[in-house]
Amino acid sequence: MASDIDNKDSAYNARVQQQIDQFIDQPIHDLPEIFHIWSHNYIRPGIADVFGVESINDVYKGAVREASKQFGDGCRILSVGCGDGNVEIQLALSLIEAGFTRFRIEAVDLSPVLIERFREQLHANKLEGYILPQIADLNKRTPSEKYNVIMANHSLHHIVELEGIFDFIFESLTDDGIFATCDMIGRNGHMRWPESEAVLQTIWPLLSDRQRFHHQLLRHDRERFVDHDCSTEGFEGIRAQDILYLILNRFFPYKFFGYGGFMDVLTDRGYGPGFDQNNQWDVEFIGAMSKLNEMMLDSGMLKPTTMIAYFTKQERAPVHFRNRTARSSVRIPFEKPDWIFE
Ligand SMILES: C[S@@+](CC[C@H](N)C(=O)[O-])C[C@H]1O[C@@H](n2cnc3c(N)ncnc32)[C@H](O)[C@@H]1O
């Protein structure tokens, strides 16, 4: 008879396989055109304000610059959940272009398929001397080395054992190192909290038929917005709502930009393709909704669903966008705003 441990192991292994399968055919990097309009007008200014740069690559490059004392010292970098290595390759190329070559990136991912693709790209870009991709399950890794920068690009929301991974990152980071991340911090399974859902249900009748079609689930949500729990397969968004809270239990927030809310739903891979970047109504509607989303974030009515941030082991003067501090961006799961009615 199978024991509880055997059952747990086989359930875990099945999820690991689903996780590996998820990105075999699904492109990791493509997003609808309308996302880029939102991002250009409402994400880029926040990145510029907090980090003084305009792209995610430059956010990671900035962490390396700071941790290596303006490229004066060498820099050991660890990337957790690196996928096909697109982000790490861009980072390495931009560091070399800036004249900095005393770095090494170790990059870890669960998926043998993605690590193989990563190795092919490394070879094509002649970067084998700078980056070392490895297959490993972060849920099971123990600290052994120290790194000046640890980066996690959209991988934390796939991790079950977050407490363990943050202990691992804390132990593996040098005392003056930087933990740099861009990741999802909204509700588990990338679902909406009631306050975001209330907005979406209110505006849903304003959308056209084309805009109510979910392109990933191939489903027409004509009557109302239907929230989808992505965590039912693999580890997608498995503990997204715990990420920021747990990081702040371990690290100091240094630079922090939080964004998103209900806008993710309108611009992401699900409904985003239903909005046409060449249609004036579509673009104006997205602009108006983005402004509402911003106002609700600034007033605290909504909490951000994504963060771009540096965390450190030692306290530094914190920098954040407007009044959106890292701590005020934590959404406590059992709290419900009083303006939401059942
Ligand atoms: C959304 S992808 C992001 C990949 C890459 N960082 C990027 O930005 O393109 C999430 C990655 O996390 C990896 N991952 C999920 N759980 C993991 C685990 N327990 N250990 C290592 N990698 C994991 C997946 O295989 C996947 O490549």
Q: What is the CATH number of the domain that holds 174?
A: 3.40.50.150
Which residue owns the Cα nearest ligand 1 atom 26?
A: 83
Q: Which residue has the CA at smallest separation from atom 9 of ligand 1?
A: 83
316 CA distance to ligand 1 middle (Å)? 29
pLDDT-based confidence at 78, cuts 50/70/90?
very high
Give one word for 129, left, alpha or beta, with left for phi > 0 and alpha for psi -120 to 50.
Answer: alpha
Neighbours of 218 (CB within 10 A): 7
> What confidence score (pLDDT) does residue 251 get?
98
pTM of the model as a whole:
0.93
CB of 86 shorter than 6 A to ligand 1: yes
Average pLDDT over residues 76-98: 97
Domain assignment present for residue 70? The answer is yes
Q: In sequence order, what DSSP letters do the residues of 245-305 get, joined into one string?
A: HHHHHHSEEEEEEEE-SSHHHHHSTTTGGGS-TT-HHHHHHHHHHHHHHHHHHHTTSS--S
- Between the alpha carbon of residue 171 and those of residues 4, 109, 118, 145, 168, the distances in Å are 31, 19, 27, 9, 5
CB-ligand 1 contact for 240 (6 Å cutoff):
no
* Tens of pLDDT, residues 268-313: 999 999 999 999 999 999 999 999 999 999 999 999 999 999 999 9
Does residue 235 line the site of ligand 1, with CB under 6 A? yes
Segment 131-181, tens digit of pLDDT: 999 999 988 877 789 999 999 999 999 999 999 999 999 999 999 999 999
Start-to-end Cα distance in the chain: 46
Ligand 1 mutation target, pool 155, 160, 230, 236, most atoms within 8 A of CB: 155
Domain count for the chain, please give it.
Answer: 1
State if residue 158 touches ligand 1 by the CB under 6 angstroms criterion: yes
Q: Could you tell me the distance, in angstroms and rounded to a whole number, from the CA of residue 87 to the centre of ligand 1?
A: 12
Q: Is residue 57 part of a domain?
A: yes
Q: Is residue 318 in some structural domain?
A: yes
Question: How high is the mean pLDDT of the chain?
Answer: 93
Q: Which SS3 state, helix, strand or coil, does residue 335 take?
A: coil
Please determine, for residue 5, whether its predicted confidence score (pLDDT) is greater than 70: no
pLDDT at residue number 336: 86
Q: Which residue's CA lies nearest to atom 15 of ligand 1?
A: 158
Answer whether residue 15 shows pLDDT above 80: no
Q: Is residue 285 part of a domain?
A: no
Specify if 227 maps to a domain: no
Best of 56, 91, 110 for a ligand 1 pocket test (most atoms within 8 Å of beta carbon): 110
How many CA atoms lie within 13 Å of 153's alpha carbon, on the beta-carbon side?
Answer: 22
For the Cβ of 114 lying below 6 angstroms from any atom of ligand 1, the answer is yes
Q: How high is the pLDDT of residue 293?
A: 98
Q: Is residue 77 part of a domain?
A: yes
Q: What is d(CA 282, CA 293) in angstroms, rounded to the nearest whole number?
A: 16
The fraction of the chain above a pLDDT of 70, given in percent, is 94
Atom number, ligand 1, closest to the C-alpha of residue 140: 19
Distance 236 CA to ligand 1 centre (A): 10
Our separate counts of H helices and E strands in the chain read 11, 10
Dist CA 179 CA 151 (whole Å): 6
What is the percent of the chain with per-residue pLDDT over 90, rounded to a whole number? 85
For residue 318, give both structure tokens.
């914190």
pLDDT of residue 51: 98
Q: Calculate mean pLDDT across residues 28-46.
A: 92
Q: How confident is the model at residue 1 (pLDDT cuts 50, 70, 90)?
A: very low
- Tell me the residue range of the domain where 82 lies: 4-31+51-186+239-259+304-326
